[in-house]
Amino acid sequence: MPHTIALVGGTGPEGRGLATRFALAGHRVRIGSRDAARGVEAARDLAASLGRGDITGADNAAAVADADLVVVVVPYSAHRATLEGLRDALAGKIVVDAVVPVMFDRGPRPVDVPAGSATEEAAEILAASRVIGAFHNLAAEVLLDPTANVDADVLVTGGDAEAKQAVIALANEIAGVTAVDAGPLRFSRFVEGITILLIGINGRYKAHTGVRIAGLGGH
Amino acid sequence: MPHTIALVGGTGPEGRGLATRFALAGHRVRIGSRDAARGVEAARDLAASLGRGDITGADNAAAVADADLVVVVVPYSAHRATLEGLRDALAGKIVVDAVVPVMFDRGPRPVDVPAGSATEEAAEILAASRVIGAFHNLAAEVLLDPTANVDADVLVTGGDAEAKQAVIALANEIAGVTAVDAGPLRFSRFVEGITILLIGINGRYKAHTGVRIAGLGGH
């Protein structure tokens, strides 16, 4: 059953990359931005380059209004304010946090999050939403190429079993991806940390890496 | 060139697993323990089951005395006291910290380390040693089977380029393993965190998992 998926802060490379893959899988996609015009423009460009799919843009509040599943891809610096502003609009919905608390100062560095992780912070702010962590570790450059196979697993955290299964199913629709249940929300810090590791490895090896969990067999 | 490798706290599954692989690669192996008799016994059992290799046991201080490369595999609860007790004996040597700051309370949980990671803590304590982080993420059950291919990468952290290259070369000798330069010591917390994630996944999927960095090509 297709979702209507809103990407909050979706005009950046990660948001447009995920929008590409969600549209290819047949979902309706709403690209949200602080600035409605930028959301509309990003959606129009993406729809034109893909030549298919139901992709529209709006400001973040309008984008999430008719979505049943929302993916948050704002920079960490905008995380708290964005979620507080959308709290009521996100009540009852599945909210997937893909945000990594990272800053750059001669390389990537973790930002201290009192809640333990961005995803746990989202769960604190959005007490009436079904918060799941996922999609932190996928290279935007690969997602943006609709012909590229994504050589990476998606690690999914959360305590709402039904919402988690919906996100696992969504991730598994991305060509090449295997979704792995990475545990409850308190494991999100480790998943977010992997992205900081991968950013460093990408710089060192001039690559667009992902992470795979080996040894799971054909789960 | 073969190393003489001491495993500090090497009588547990991880220590005996690494000892197995280092011996298979032709290195001299010294299994250290708080209790010399236990180190001797573990080495004797391992040498007997492998049927080859230069493997002996001793107390930790004697084990490191003639080693040029030392791998620390004590439980985190013994980390600081063990390293403080060996500080002089480890001066000038390559010391590989493989310790994960984890405790168990309805599942694995991180232990807060003021230095940021066990490896950074080791570097603080062992200011005269060449401290590298590696070997955190390998399943002991797989290491202990000398016929099993290890389906995992080894993420190596550290600032001493020559020592790091020696550890990368050592890790690459383990059948199936690819060593990846995971950055300076400050990235160790993310590598250690992956183990906590894998412990959770192993329980959930009844598997012995490892981590792979995908997208590096044939580096």
What is the rounded average pLDDT of the residues A19-29? 98
Q: Name the β-bridge partners of B178.
A: B153
- A47 and A170 in contact (C-beta within 8 Å)? no
The span from the CA of B71 to the CA of A206, in Å, is 30
- B212 and B153 in contact (C-beta within 8 Å)? yes
Cβ-Cβ contacts under 8 Å, A193 against chain B = 189-190, 193-194
CA B45 to each of CA A14, B42, B63: distance values in angstroms, whole numbers, following the listed order: 52, 5, 17
> Does the CB of B182 have a partner CB in chain A at under 8 Å?
yes
Q: What is the pLDDT of residues B143-174, one digit of tens each?
A: 999 999 999 999 999 999 999 999 999 999 99
Cβ-Cβ contacts under 8 Å, B209 against chain A = 213-216
Cα B215 from chain centroid (whole Å) = 25
| CA angle in degrees (0–180, nearest 5) for A209-B205-B97 | 55
- A182 and B205 in contact (C-beta within 8 Å)? no
Rg (CA), chain A: 16
Q: What is the pLDDT of residues A202-211, one digit of tens each?
A: 999 999 999 9
Asked if pLDDT for residue A196 goes beyond 90, the answer is yes
Query: Are B212 and A212 a contacting pair at CB < 8 A?
Result: yes
What is the rounded average pLDDT of the residues A179-193? 98
What is the rounded average pLDDT of the residues B188-210? 97
DSSP conformational letter for B207: S
Nearest-CA distance A200 → chain B (Å): 7
The letter for the amino acid at A118 is: A
Q: Name the β-bridge partners of A213.
A: B211
**Exposure b/e, B22-50, CB count within 10 A at least 16 = b:** bbbbebbbbbbbbebebbbebbeebbeee
Select from B110, B181, B186 the Cβ nearest to the Cβ of A204. Answer: B181
Cβ-Cβ contacts under 8 Å, B216 against chain A = 201, 205, 207, 209
**What is the pTM assigned to this prediction?**
0.96
Determine the pLDDT at residue B218. 58
- ipTM value: 0.94
Q: Name the β-bridge partners of A132.
A: A96
Q: What is the pLDDT of residues A122-146, one digit of tens each?
A: 999 999 999 999 999 999 999 999 9
Other beta carbons within 10 angstroms of residue A76's beta carbon come to 17
Four-residue CA torsion sign, A135, B190, A118, B107: positive
Q: Which two structure tokens, joined as six digits, stand for B190?
A: 């993310």
* B122 closest CA partner among B158, B159, B105, B97: B97
Q: Which two structure tokens, joined as six digits, stand for A131?
A: 């918060």
Cβ-Cβ contacts under 8 Å, B186 against chain A = 109
- B6 and B62 in contact (C-beta within 8 Å)? no
Asked if pLDDT for residue B33 goes beyond 70, the answer is yes
Q: Which two structure tokens, joined as six digits, stand for A199?
A: 């950013």
Question: What is the phi-psi region of residue A53: left when phi exceeds 0, alpha when psi lies from -120 to 50, beta otherwise?
Answer: left
Determine the pLDDT at residue A218. 58
Q: A108-112 long-range CB contacts below 8 Å, 24 or more apart?
A: A108/A196, A108/A199, A108/A200, A109/A196, A109/B186, A110/A193, A110/A196, A110/B189, A111/A76
| HSE-up (13 A, CA, CB side) for residue A16 | 20
Residues in chain A, total: 219
The letter for the amino acid at A96 is: V
Other beta carbons within 10 angstroms of residue A85's beta carbon come to 15
Token pair 């998926």: residue: A5
* B42 closest CA partner among B66, B67, B18: B18
* φ/ψ (deg, to 5) at A212: -120, 140
Cα A196 from chain centroid (whole Å) = 15
> Does the CB of B27 have a partner CB in chain A at under 8 Å?
no
Determine the pLDDT at residue B185. 98
Question: What is the phi-psi region of residue A49: left when phi exceeds 0, alpha when psi lies from -120 to 50, beta otherwise?
Answer: alpha
Helix (H, G, I), strand (E, B) or coil at A204: helix
- Cβ-Cβ pairs closer than 8 A, A with B, add up to 113
Please, which pLDDT band fits residue B53 given cuts at 50, 70 and 90?
A: confident
Determine the pLDDT at residue B52. 87
The span from the CA of A112 to the CA of A110, in Å, is 6
DSSP conformational letter for A68: S
Asked if pLDDT for residue B40 goes beyond 70, the answer is yes
As to burial, measured by CB atoms within 10 angstroms (0-12 exposed, 13-18 middle, 19+ buried), residue A184 is middle
Residue B56 parent element (H or E): strand B55-59
Residues in chain B, total: 219
Determine the pLDDT at residue B82. 98
